[in-house]
Chain A
Amino acid sequence: MSSIRALVVAGNGTNCEHETAFACLQAGFDEAASVPIWDLLAGEQRLADYELLCLPGGFLDGDDLGAARACANRYRHGRIAGTGQRLWDELRAFVESGKLVLGICNGFQLLVKLGLLPAVEPAPRQCVTLTFNDSGRFEDRWVELVCDPRSPCVFTRGLERLALPVRHGEGKLVCESEALRSQLDGAQLVPLRYAEPETGEPTERYPQNPNGSPRGAAGLCDPSGRVFGLMPHPEAYLHRTHHPRWTRGDGGQAEEGLGLRVFRNAAAFLSS
């Protein structure tokens, strides 16, 4: 079996690259490289050499033009030194090659703004967005999530419920049309939703739903299930002491946190 390698694109405002790379290693990747986007633009590192592309959380370009917008612009127009090729070309080739892409928080915002999610049309086009939370403010809080067992999403396979933190100001998922929203729901492209802790039902109630996303949508995948983005942070729950109520026994006694399962699913898919 060939080795599997994860690439975590860092720099220019990302801030979760260390724990995201660590999560990949813990999950069984043979290599997890945290590579500055500058090395990709310098042509020193190539996406094609990796099997999982992680776009970690942060504030790309300070989110100055809206979350991840300026960085989406950088991916679209930035050229790789010495080749004349755009980073965008490499990224599209990577997605089309059947490999895995995971965007977390700011990385999810980036995938959406590049039109790589939900990707229900042949050509990438931005048709949904992640906009300001209904509260109008950034918040850090843990939420309860429920997964859709019928979703094609590779990353949520076998997961039913999990608790993870959200840490964002722009996480409300808005579709350009009601028809598109129905289409996403119908095709099970919303693999996880904010849920009521007691019932596990998807919720629009604040603060269980921290941003006002309709029907509690917390993430999206493409129809192949290989490209996945989510607002909550699975890399923030790798160890049981990450759970906010671990001193109360919540989250169980296993040393490993449930967030790691998202990365294990990726490793399992690539190894099979």
Chain B
Amino acid sequence: MRAHRIEVGLREGFADAVGERLCKRIQEQLGIPVEQVRCVDVYTLDVDLTDEQLAQVAAAPYCDPVVQRSSVDAPLEGGFEWAVEISLRPGVTDNVGRTAREAAALALDRPFGPGEGVYHARQMRLRGALERDGVERIARELLANELIQQIRVLDASTFAAGGGFEPLVPAVVSRGRPAVARVSLDLDDEALQALSRERVWALSLDELRAVRAYYRRESVCAQREACGLSREPTDVEIEALAQTWSEHCKHKIFNARIQYREGDGEPETIDSLFDTCVRAATEVARRDKGERDLCQSVFSDNAGVFRFDEEYSLVCKVETHNSPSALDPYGGALTGIVGVNRDPFGTGMGARLIFNTDVFCFASPYRTQRVPRPLLHPRRVLEGVREGVEHGGNKSGIPTVNGSVVFDERFLGKPLVFCGTGGLLPARLHGRPGWEKECRSGDRIVMAGGRIGADGIHGATFSSEELHEGSPSTAVQIGDPITQKRLTDFLLRARDEGLYRAITDNGAGGLSSSVGEMAESAGGCDLDLTSAPLKYEGLAAWEILLSEAQERMTLAVPPEKKERFFALASRYQVEVCDLGCFTDDGLFRVRDHGETVALLEMDFLHHGLPRMELEARWSPPDEPEQSPALPEHHGALLLAMLGRLNICSKHYWVRQYDHEVQAGSVIKPLTGADDDGPSDAAVLRPRLDSLQAVAVSHGICPRYSDLDARAMAECAVDEALRNAVAVGADPDRAVGLDNFCWCDPIRAPSNPDGDFKLGQLVRACRGLHDTCVAYGVACISGKDSMKNDAVIEGLRISIPPTLLFSLLGLLDDARQAVSMDFKAPGEAIYALGTTRAELGGSEYYAQAGGRGGRVPRVRPAESLRLYRALHRAIEAGCVSACHDCADGGLGVALAESVFAGGLGAEVSLAAVPAEGVARDDALLYAESAGRFIAGVPRGREAEFEALLDGCACARIGEVIEKRLRIRGLAGETILDEPADALKAAWLAPLDW
């Protein structure tokens, strides 16, 4: 049997919009003079079909009769100089191929059997005077990622002579299931560590010793003997332990015992940063709130849960997917978003997903210096990540409502890709709180969704390592939003019918983690891998157990519900399988084909991990205060500030993400007279039949870490709350999520300042704690990612320590939400909050080429008083516009509110509430926390001022037509620019 090729492309004469966009990117990004790109879809059918059947499939469903044409086993005609064909490597998820296979089977009324496949490839036909190496560069650097794709290049004459490309079937060559291996741990310390590295276990020596000691216990040996197992661990056991004990799953650094010393102070012992800072802050904040505490389930499930209204709870989780996104930006980000979707979906009894957020940190896309392999150029990372989140979010029907993009050269080492998802959960389901789940002995272990493959194996341990030249490509995978959509549609119905008792997702660690965690509540499990559905044969038992193949949930299904559950799944075309049952014998038992392949005590699996002991130190960095020359031209300076990558418009992202599906959007990410001003936060109305709303915001300021990670953390929390208050949220009804992304904080010869980085983490955690407690914002969920470094060609690139603080704040009436654009000439403009000489780490100093100096600090008592007063003013309806002052300070905030409103403003800096600020540039660009500008409608000024009594609040000017005019401290006009010019400068840098 030979495979067949069907090629589908646009008819001649029809413009190829996607090809034209690629052509432009090749010209702009690679500087290669391509004249035209035309795209062809290639379907390779590895199945015995007649000529008639092939013709039928080629005509429909593969081809659009109006604009496309197709050919079978012959290339489509057309003029070109080079053809590039890009196919997936064997085993990589092929979404189009899967749909094409299903469609052919339906159209031909002929089910496809095992081994019969359809594979999709993309062919690009290039015109222009190009050399082979130029074409190969285009293929390698822009069209394909060789980790997951294979590239073939033909010039036109070879193409014509050979009749185009040969059929290429990227099927996984089947081998039998490898036998379970025994692993001897009777090695010396050095050999033990070498083995851990070689097998990507990422276990420390202490941990390896603990495992070795477990297997030497007499009781364990006896237990194993009774089940026919030797004294040596099986590969299944050791891999399961390595996953469960990974930094990714166990947060060992956050739970470590730390000896900490600050400056010349006394050394102190910190008994778990998580317990003493994050958990403690939440406990205190909740206690302080008393009856007004919103939290319902925190730190115990896949996502945090809090009260939305009488009938519903909100569920939220934010994750990172940094390492996979560094290797394959598209696949990494796509699995990042569809992966975090499964967290709220796997919380309690399962939430319906209502919004996504995304925050990215990249190096400059305009980088001109060489990028060392295997790192990718930041523009490529950015495009891939953008597209991955676009496909993941849009195709799942979940609006992407809030996000930001932060640039710093050090994110070259690892980009940060934060993906968050919120869900709406009925407060009660079948007589129980919706956020509770239980799992009883005797319940069936059921896996639902995608099949298991080698993809994503060692994801959890891999992300617990720095990026290096040999990082495993199996850690990369492609998400499949449609399989997941079918799965979630089906499971929501199963939830409402009461067909399962508990649900969790398969993420890091695969079945090993999901079943292992659920088994904790029942007291054990008897997992049978024999009938686990595989993408292809040849996986070892440990690989099946650990695979992180996507789109899978694990459920506890009561035996009496199993029949209905399976019947409904089959109707929804969702694959489900029974993998044994939960038990209460305290054992994590895994079988395969009748044999026990793993037997671990639950207690050891979950609690046998030795505590990590670490050292940390911190002293303030030696960064002298900058003193930039006085600006010669304030107008030019403001234009330059607006064009900085961290300040300029991010519409390129926002427009390509569906931000209003589900009809909940109240404040959209882009706002104002021309729908292009930058909103401070999103406001959503998740119930169509209610006006109750939630603001979704975040704060992130990695630049401040260079001066003090504590200030960085404080400002992130403040910025998140401030943004939410700006759009109308009640500061007293908000919860947060903390996501730490750090550079390796463990000192080692290769990482000599690891103890300082850990000191920065201590400072940041304390900043988070103090600010959250003072604001009364409980953290409902969080995550950390600790190895955001790359060691490439002997050089270590470490990211700046970064806390992303995401926040959800409630509004009782969506109609009270406020946007950031000025509304009408004659409105009064107020500056709220005190500006201080805090320019350390500011965008202004970065523009001037420095960073040192006083970094912004949060004064929560002062700020909270202001936030409450402002909220009362918003509720009273006397605020028509409100915008927070953050990156670029007051100057940038004013410009944004001006051009978003299509209006102008005349303001005086002398009126701005300030302390110790003597220069106009400092007043305009200081980044002091806790500040806003607000527009107040004519006639409401007195009421507004009365409500803000006791807070730093001053009228600084009024809204006029079309120009921004600023008078300096000396009273003269220092800046007078047309609003249109300000907007153009702000739109230009990332207007692709």
Contacts and interface: CB of A to CB of B under 8 A. Distances in A.
Interface stretch (A61-69, A151-159, A220-228): A61-69
A259 B21 CA distance: 33
Interface stretch (B62-70, B441-449, B905-913, B982-990): B62-70
Contacts of A18: 662-663, 688
A138 B482 contact: no
Contacts of A76: 107
A35 to B, nearest CB: 11
B172 interface: no
B17 interface: yes
A141 B655 contact: yes
B103 interface: yes
B564 interface: no
A155 B849 CA distance: 60
Interface in A120-152: 126-129, 131-142
A65 B661 contact: no
Contact of B572 (A38, A59, A141): A38
A133 B17 CA distance: 7
A236 B659 CA distance: 11
Given A72-B61, A167-B658, A248-B673, A77 B663 contact: no
Contact of B395 (A13, A19, A236): A13
Contacts of A200: none
Interface in A17-52: 18-19, 22, 36, 38-39, 41-42
Given A65-B99, A236-B663, A136 B66 contact: no
A139 B17 CA distance: 14
A225 B67 CA distance: 26
B817 A247 contact: yes
Contacts, number: 193
Interface in B638-661: 654-661
Contact of A36 (B14, B102, B572, B658): B572
Given A58-B397, A64-B100, A70-B99, A244 B60 contact: no
Interface residues of A, number: 67
B666 A241 contact: yes
B677 to A, nearest CB: 10
A81 to B, nearest CB: 9
A92 interface: no
B662 A134 contact: no
A196 interface: no
Contacts of B573: 12, 38
Given A238-B688, A241-B666, A74 B106 contact: yes
A13 B485 contact: yes
B64 A134 contact: no
A107 interface: no
Interface residues of B, number: 71
B688 A69 contact: no
A260 to B, nearest CB: 11
B569 to A, nearest CB: 10
Interface in B1-22: 14-15, 17-21
Contact of A245 (B66, B675, B688): B675
Contacts of B821: 247-248
A103 interface: no
A68 B880 CA distance: 43
A180 B102 CA distance: 33
B61 A22 contact: no
A247 B64 contact: no
A176 B60 CA distance: 16
Nearest to B670: A244
Contacts of A239: 663, 685
B814 interface: yes
Given A13-B395, A77-B106, A132-B17, 15 more contacts: A12-B486, A15-B397, A15-B398, A58-B397, A64-B98, A128-B66, A129-B66, A131-B67, A135-B21, A141-B675, A176-B65, A212-B17, A238-B688, A241-B815, A245-B675
Interface of A: 10-16, 18-19, 22, 36, 38-39, 41-42, 57-59, 61-66, 69-70, 72-74, 76-78, 113, 126-129, 131-142, 165, 167, 172, 174-176, 212, 235-236, 238-242, 244-245, 247-248
20 contacts: A11-B489, A13-B395, A14-B397, A59-B394, A59-B395, A59-B397, A59-B481, A61-B99, A62-B395, A66-B64, A70-B61, A78-B106, A127-B66, A138-B656, A140-B654, A140-B658, A141-B675, A174-B14, A174-B67, A244-B671
